[in-house]
Amino acid sequence: MRRLISPAARQLDLFHAIPGDLAPRDAQDLMAWPFFSLAKSKRVRPIDFRMGSTSILVEATAEHGMATIWDADVLVWVASQLVEARDKGIATSRLIAATPHEILSFTERGTGKASYDRLKAALDRLQSTTIATSIRQPHQRRRHRFSWINEWKERLDPAGRPLGIEMIVPDWFYAGVLEQALVLTIDRAYFQLTGGLERWLYRVVRKHGGRQAGGWSFDVDHLHLKSGVLSPRKQFAFDLRRIVTRQALPGYVLSLEFALGRERLVFIPKPADLFDLAMRRCGRRPVEK
């Protein structure tokens, strides 16, 4: 069992998760840059990304491997909790208490023992993965170093029965969500995407495309670099074409175009479903068709 024993943990107030069906929100910095492994197999090789003044170094341990884009669902849950609490005038904290059931239900995972074990493994990867980045640093040569979860533990009652978990999220993440309001609402269908690349691509598209009527486009070579994947460009392009063929991303129509000898991914928002929007505004999910 992990124990929160640091002075920092003792100084933080405990924020209890808000129950209910919350809108999923994602942190924009995490949507735009290569912070996670997109592979289902263990990745230990670092992500060392540099573009202009932006640098990101993600390092993993041999024991747990790098945090994956599926593990990042925990951070989507955290961001959603923090924004919901802020909007309701509830005090928040980097020290968060929840039950595994709350997290697993929100991310649309199973809630049995196997899912609970996978959640604990995800928390271990989030805690053991370290990041050093220049993003949101006032001086380009300085980098902020942190883990996605500083510490976490399982809570037990006096009889040894589980009560839930506690975790501390890093100040870099917390400040981005609350102090700078760098969040976007994402489609709940995101949790049903099974491929790492299509999950990452949805986040990039949602971050950059938003709801612009004219859509947006990216050079495929640029996307390959920005994804942080280990696969060669040829394999990346092949996987991208399969996603375009399936039209896998909720809310967007994808296409590939060639211009001046270069391949570009184009994405355009689908026309809004007015009934769907009305249901979401009143806090209800539409009936699945």
Q: Find the CATH number of the domain harbouring 249.
A: 1.10.10
pLDDT of residue 157: 77
In a domain, 79, yes or no: yes
In a domain, 2, yes or no: no
Instruction: Please determine, for residue 95, whether its predicted confidence score (pLDDT) is greater than 60.
Output: yes
Report the alpha-carbon distance of residue 268 to residue 254 in Å, rounded: 7
pLDDT in tens, 111-127: 888 999 999 999 999 99
Listed in sequence order, the DSSP H helices in 155-257 are: 171-174, 196-209, 220-227, 233-246
pLDDT of residue 78: 98
- % of the chain surpassing 70 pLDDT: 87
**pLDDT, mean of residues 31-37:** 95
Flag whether the pTM goes above 0.75: yes
In a domain, 286, yes or no: no
Same domain, 119 and 134: yes
**pLDDT, mean of residues 26-49:** 96
Instruction: Please determine, for residue 236, whether its predicted confidence score (pLDDT) is greater than 90.
Output: yes
- Domain with 234, as residue range(s), is 191-281
**pLDDT, mean of residues 200-226:** 85
pLDDT of residue 112: 85
pLDDT of residue 280: 45
pLDDT of residue 158: 81
Instruction: Please determine, for residue 5, whether its predicted confidence score (pLDDT) is greater than 60.
Output: no
pLDDT in tens, 162-202: 789 999 999 999 999 998 788 999 999 999 999 999 999 99
* Residue with the larger pLDDT of the pair 285 and 180: 180
Report the alpha-carbon distance of residue 74 to residue 64 in Å, rounded: 17
Token pair for 196? 């790492």
Of the residues 152, 185, 218, the one at which a domain ends:
185
Instruction: Please determine, for residue 209, whether its predicted confidence score (pLDDT) is greater than 90.
Output: no
* Residue with the larger pLDDT of the pair 209 and 285: 209
Of the residues 154, 185, 216, the one at which a domain ends:
185
Same domain, 52 and 178: yes
Report the alpha-carbon distance of residue 43 to residue 47 in Å, rounded: 10
Instruction: Please determine, for residue 159, whether its predicted confidence score (pLDDT) is greater than 50.
Output: yes
Confidence band of 214 (pLDDT split at 50, 70, 90): low
Report which of 149, 133, 129, 74 is spatially closest to residue 105, judged by C-alpha positions. 74
